[in-house]
Amino acid sequence: MKIGFIGMGNMAGALVQGLRRNGYTEEIYAYAPHQDKLQKNAQKLGFTPCASLKELAEQADCLLLACKPYQAEAVLGEIKEELKGRILLSVALGWDQKRMKELLPETRCQYLMPNTPCAVGKGSLLFEESSSLSEEEKKEVWEIFGLCGQVEVIRDDLMGIAGTLIGCGPAFAAMIIEAFGDAGVKYGLPRAQAYRLVGGMLEGSGALLLDTQQHPGEMKDAVCSPGGSTIRGVCALEENGLRNACIQAIDAICAKK
């Protein structure tokens, strides 16, 4: 399946990187209005740049809407005829299955929400449950984008909160890495090494949870010896409101939606 990206911003770039890094050899095309930047990204990421939307639509088997949400209606209107009977995926916020089908009733549509770790094949990709793709097409699309990370099918009404967790979460994880890195530096570790250690620890902890399906509390308890150093650190985190701070971060985002 040849994929065509409508737009080549950070998220589209992360997906291309993840696909190429993890063995996707089919042709990838992309169109963006700033052709100079598009050409540079094409050389760096490994896709074929297109000079127009119509050229992109003619080349790709599956198009992925990755432009700014406010641009989407005009962009899709320009290639509405070319999209008839085709597959259209969307990562543009708010352009879900229902909205795409209202504009493009003859196009098979699927909405998904990925995150930036897709660039290294460690991302999360949320596929909205509602889809007009055939079962065979869904299987192929999920298999392709599964090269970028963990694929989850999410109930339509839960896409918002699920997308908040995986979309905003990398920023929060980076803050945790930076904070524990600072603690390491405070006690003598070189900064780059401290960041590597904490980053690897978070990656490993996530992998352990996914592989064993353990409850996070069990994982925490397994490290906390009676009277030991870890339980003292856990108590300090509780006293300073770690859990509440995490929940309030999500509340602050959801309150604005």
Quick one: which of 52, 48, 59, 57 has its CA closest to 16?
A: 48
Residues 120 and 245 in one domain: no
Judgement on whether residues 108 and 192 belong to the same structural domain of the protein: no
Whether residue 69 lies inside any domain: the answer is yes
Domain end marker among 154, 181, 204: 154
* 159-186 vs 242-254: helix crossing angle, rounded to 10: 140
Do 249 and 192 belong together in one domain? yes
Q: Give yes or no: residues 205 and 140 share one domain.
A: no
Return the beta strands (E) in 115-188 as ranges. Answer: 123-131, 149-154
The answer on 174 and 125 residing in a single domain is no
User: Two tokens at 175?
Assistant: 């803050």
| Structural domains counted in the chain | 2
List the domain range (segments joined by +) for residue 140. Answer: 3-154
Q: How far is CA 64 from CA 33, 53, 187, in A?
A: 16, 12, 47
Tens of pLDDT along 126-136? Answer: 999 999 999 99
Contact 58, 86 (CB under 8 A): no
CATH code for the domain in which residue 141 is found: 3.40.50.720
Q: Which of 123, 154, 185 is the last residue of a domain?
A: 154
Residue 183: inside a domain: yes
CB neighbours of residue 97 within 10 Å: 19
162 domain residue, yes or no: no
Report yes or no on 161 lying in a domain.
no
Judge if 98 and 222 occupy the same domain: no
Q: Please indicate, yes or no, whether residues 55 and 181 belong to a single structural domain of this protein.
A: no
Answer whether residue 119 is part of any domain: yes
Distance CA 46, CA 20 (A): 7
Same domain, 217 and 93: no
Residue 20, domain member (yes or no): yes
Report the pLDDT value the prediction gives residue 257, as an integer from 0 to 100. 62
Give the closest residue to 111 by CA, choosing from 94, 86, 134: 94
Report pLDDT for 256: 75
Residue 87 sits in the same domain as residue 22 = yes
Residue 168 has a pLDDT of 96
Q: Which CATH number does the domain housing residue 181 bear?
A: 1.10.3730.10
Give the residue ranges of the chain where pLDDT is below 50: none
Identify whether residues 84 and 208 lie together within a single domain. Answer: no
Report the phi/psi class of residue 23: left, alpha or beta, with left for phi > 0 and alpha for psi in -120 to 50. left
Query: Do 69 and 194 lie in a common domain?
Result: no
| Total length of the chain | 257
pLDDT of res. 236? 97
Provide the pLDDT for residue 210: 95
Residue 160 lies in a domain: no
pLDDT of residue 64: 98
DSSP character at residue 163: H
Query: 141 and 192: one domain?
Result: no
